[in-house]
A = this chain, B = another copy of it.
Amino acid sequence: MKHFRWFLEVASDSEINMHALDEVLHSSKSEYQKVEIFRLGKFGKALILDGKMQSAEVDEFIYHECLVHPVLLSHGSPKKVLIAGGGEGATIREVLRWPTVEKVYMVDLDEEVVNACKRLMPEWHRGAFEDGRVKVIYDDARRFIRTSKERFDAIILDLPEPMEEGPAILLYTEEFYREVGEHLEEGGVMVTQATTVSVVNFRAFSIISNTIREVFKIVRPYWTSVPSFYQPWGFVFASQQKDPKALQLEEIEEKLSGLKGQLRFYNSEIHYALFALPEYLKEALQKEKAINRDDSPLSFY
């Protein structure tokens, strides 16, 4: 055994992922959570909150491109974008590729996380926090949205998992999605990260998807594989008017070619592929009856 320091990510009672812990770049306890930045074997730097991997240097681009571009492509010409969460700054980075974007608000609860990311994870944000279009607000995303007078072309929910005593437990409920819907402009679009979607663990994904269906007319659950998460990862797109599956190939390619910089994962083929759901999952989504509400919010772990 070459390495003797390890990070053990507990995926469940019966699955643990061990990563060689090459370096502890940051370790602190913020007001809200345990905040750590590790250097981990092949995955490079990684942000760990309360022992859960948030994103890793080598493949954060997969997660962030798949979170941002489907929703902005569906809108077509987003001007005002709101990001809830997104402390690493990589979600802002992807949003700023869009030349139509004029204003990006990022609302993150934990200033300590954002500051650690700014200082130690420049590979993620690449200066995005300094862009004049960006405004960072340290607040609870739910409170911010509820009390905001503004409306947005796109709202991107880049949140931690809904854990019992975690800060995001009320950011996956029907009531919250209604508040999100009320703060979208005409033709507005939203997306949320939607946890693991593995063959042994798709319940949270299907409940989130079903809950969003209570609020929005067009709901498109989708998924891809982020190697450092080990299990396939889910997202849910929603809108009252726009449908990412209805986009024409030419339209996608034209929009993507207008983006600033080079995408590393996303392209027009990938766009369609993301929305292809396997049979077992289509069935599970159809059968799902549970709706996640504020009065007894589901905690998925």
A→B interface (CB under 8 Å): 1-10, 12-24, 27, 40-43, 48, 51, 58-59, 62, 198-201, 224-225, 227, 230-232, 262-267, 269-270, 272-280, 282
A-B contacts, 11 of them at CB < 8 A, read A1-B10, A13-B20, A15-B17, A15-B19, A15-B20, A17-B17, A18-B18, A227-B231, A264-B278, A267-B279, A273-B273
Q: Is the interface of A mostly helix, strand, loop or mixed?
A: mixed
Contact check, A269 vs B280: say whether CB atoms are below 8 A apart.
no
Question: Given the complex of chains A and B, what is the CA–CA distance between A5 and B40 in angstroms?
Answer: 12
- Determine the chain B residues whose CB is within 8 A of the CB of A16 once the complex forms: 1, 6, 17-18
Stoichiometry, as copies per complex, reads: 4
User: Given A5-B5, A276-B269: A14 and B19 within 8 A (CB)?
Assistant: yes
Given A199-B227, A278-B62, does the pair A5, B4 have CB atoms closer than 8 Å? no
Q: A42-B201, A276-B272, A276-B273 are in contact. Are A8 and B14 (CB under 8 A)?
A: no
- Beyond A199-B227, A232-B225, whether A8 also contacts B1 by CB under 8 A is yes
- Tell me, in angstroms, the Cα distance from A6 to B18 when the chains sit together: 10
Known: A20-B13, A227-B200, A278-B270. A1 touches B3 (CB 8 A): no
Of the candidates B9, B41, B232, B275, which one forms a contact with A14 in the assembled complex, judged by CB atoms under 8 Å apart? B41
Whose C-beta in chain B lies nearest to the C-beta of A200?
B42
What residues of chain B lie closer than 8 Å to A269, measured between beta carbons? 275-277
Residue of B whose beta carbon sits closest to that of A269: B276
**A227 and B14 alpha carbons, distance in the complex (Å):** 14
User: How far is the CB of A291 from the nearest CB of chain B, in Å?
Assistant: 26
Chain B CB within 10 Å — which of A232, A267, A278 has the most? A278
Question: Which 3 A/B pairs are nearest by Cβ-Cβ distance?
Answer: A14-B41, A14-B20, A273-B276
Question: What are the residues of chain B within 8 A of A200 when measuring CB–CB?
Answer: 42-43, 58-59, 227
